[in-house]
Amino acid sequence: INRKRCSIMEIVPYNGTTLAFIGDAVMTLWVRELLVSKGYQKPNDLQKLTSKYVSAKAQAYYLTQLIDKNYFDENELEIIKRGRNAQTKTIAKNADVITYRLATGFEAIVGYYHLTNQCGKLEKLWNEVIELGEQ
């Protein structure tokens, strides 16, 4: 799968919810492309398998694993905190508040990498997610 499609948007101080909104879209597209490339075609299978990667529980897991590995630098941790601490009126259907906020932090860093055109970091992060998702 070609991951060379990064955003060309101008860098501005996006809020955590906006970063997470974009990050969610990027993650969903990646996962759907991955599953289709593996030969999945039935909508029910695609939906079930997509949630394995993009659920709040899965994204919170990726984030905590990567933080434990000291994966992120100080600036990236600030972006994650911005997403995690964003005030939203929405709560995930199948996640507690802590899990949901961790997932939002994860989506925020994905959105940040995308909007700031950091294709190499996006690619590296995606590879880590695939590895973590297969465990």
For residue 68, indicate whether it is catalytic: no
Closest CA to 84 of 108, 64, 112, 61: 108
Angstrom distance (rounded) from CA 114 to CA 135? 26
Please identify which of the residues 24, 45, 73, 96 carries the catalytic annotation: 24
Amino acid at 46: L
Angstrom distance (rounded) from CA 102 to CA 61? 8
Tell me which residues are annotated as active site: 24
